[in-house]
Structure 1
Amino acid sequence: MIISFFFSLLLGALAGYVAGRLMGSRTSALRNVVLGILGSIVGTFLFNLIGLWVTGTIGSFIAAVVGACVCIWLERKISH
């Protein structure tokens, strides 16, 4: 259980990092982890909304990256 928790954090951090690079955002590692985890929730919701089901590590990673990109985009729209 602890290993899966740390794996989820690592996957979230990596997804947040990739999303930050794709969106041209330079943030801290902690923010990358938060964006990746939040992005995972948002991405999974969005994928399910359009009828795509997220399964496996690769699917979860893709959903987290897409969701984190959406979160970065929303944050930029709100703060500017």
Structure 2
Amino acid sequence: MNGLIVFVFIGLIAGWLAGVFMKGSGFGILGDIVIGIVGAVIGGYLIGIIGISAGGFVGSIVVATIGAIILIFLVRLLKKA
């Protein structure tokens, strides 16, 4: 149960940070959590391909934020098409 709470908390922080970096209007708490969690999956996959290891709480937030930024960028790109 603690792992799930930490995962959701990391998703919330990462989604919020990605919204700040991408100059968005914000996605709300639930939106930030979803974007952060999906971003964590994307970021973890990409970091794994590159071969970099990011451990710990801060490393997880950084990886999830990078993935969330990529996710927001791709969604905005698809909306314009």
- RMSD over equivalenced CA pairs, Å: 1.0
Question: Secondary structure in 1 aligned to 2:44?
Answer: helix
Deviation at 1:36, TM superposition (A): 0.3
Deviation at 1:61, TM superposition (A): 0.8
Identity %: 30
In the alignment, structure 2 segments of 5+ residues that lack a partner are none
CA distance in 2, matches of 1:21, 1:7: 21
Question: Secondary structure in 2 aligned to 1:54?
Answer: coil
After superposition, the C-alpha distances for 1:32-63 in whole angstroms (9 at most, x for unaligned) are: 00010000010011111111122211111100
Q: Which residue of 2 aligns with 1:73?
A: 73
Question: Secondary structure in 1 aligned to 2:30?
Answer: helix
Number of equivalent positions: 79
In the alignment, structure 1 segments of 5+ residues that lack a partner are none
Q: Which residue of 1 aligns with 2:64?
A: 64
1:1-80 to 2 correspondences below 5 Å: 2-26=1-25, 27-80=27-80
After superposition, the C-alpha distances for 1:12-45 in whole angstroms (9 at most, x for unaligned) are: 1011000100001122211100010000010011
Q: TM-score, normalised by structure 2?
A: 0.90
CA distance in 1, matches of 2:46, 2:2: 27
Detail structure 1 runs of 4+ shifted over 6 Å in the superposition.
none
